[in-house]
A and B are shown apart, each in its own frame.
Chain A
Amino acid sequence: MSLIHATDIKKHYRVGEIDVPALKGVDFEIDTSAFVAIVGPSGSGKSTLLNLIGCLDHPSSGTLLVNEVEVSKLSRADAADFRGEHLGFVFQDFNLVPVLTAYENVEYPLLMVRGWSADKRHERVMKILDAVGMKEQAHKRPDQLSGGQKQRVAVARALVGEPKLVLADEPTANLDHDTAYRILNLMKKMRDDFGTTFVFSTHDPKIMSEAEVTFILEDGKLSRQGENA
């Protein structure tokens, strides 16, 4: 069963007087619980595609269904609600809130977006921090954590609300090779444990091999490369 269904998605940006196409008619489907990599060189449109799936941006044309909702038609506030309810994000630079501890960063979506009670929040946050191996570091602020630890916290924050889909834009780009593999394995384990669909972008061919499904994005066109066992 497909979680994401995209038909003829086009996206172009206006730069001065010129229309610059970023996506030139993209069709694809991604199944629930898939572990998907979108691969392509810098500037190929990977981030644009993830932004469209994550309702952070609207396509210029085409239809994009995420969890059976036509996300390209959502208003700003509805898109925020949809993201808060169904999506999780992991960023290349971790993007943790610097004034909050690891615990509070993970708690943030439950407190500010979902409005969960304190007890329910605590139970869930500790569970997810334990799952990503950060329970002992819960009280530390981002500036007291290593890059790998920050990304673990970011993964925990993305997963804490039990989203259907986690979008990770170059999640390993700022990590060393070993840490990058550990993060990918963590994401895969989370997928196995929680059934969450993971879509991540990368331009690193070694990382790409960790994905079960790989899409190649080149010159605004998307092609499915195949499946790894």
Chain B
Amino acid sequence: MNTEEKPAGRPKYINPYFGGVLLGLLLLLTMYITGRGLGASGAVKSAVVTTVDNISPMHAEHNVYYHKFISDNHSPMFNWLVFESLGIFLGGLLSGALYGRLKKLRIEYSPKISGKTRLWAAGIGGILFGIGSQFGRGCSSGAALSGTASFSFGGFLVMMLLFGTGYVLAYFFKKLWI
């Protein structure tokens, strides 16, 4: 896809339907074991709470939102989703190494924009996703994927609206991608 990846051959991805079936079975297994689905943004939330709690414990104590996630017994990093997200990183590393996509640091962007533009877009996108995931009680994995699979109306709503908004707005950001 990216020019850098060409010489080593095209990136080899598994069949998307096969990946989907695997992901579905994994989700089922997760629900069978833990009674709830997969997630991702919760780990960043734990990191935020930990950081704020370390820099200014008083401030964290006074804010209701931080306070919800602080317990006296253990650090907010000692959390299911943090370990799971660490696993996501390791799994990505494993797959990247296995399929030969593990390479030096690089930015992937459309030839029509500069790398700097791409980083700005990624950063703003990240901020928006961070805010949105708190309002939405989860991101595309926690709310949309796991929520819909467990027949939650909220999860289904998030899935439809998230992708729906994407389609509506896609036209304006076409240059970023193609």
| A and B co-occur in one complex | no
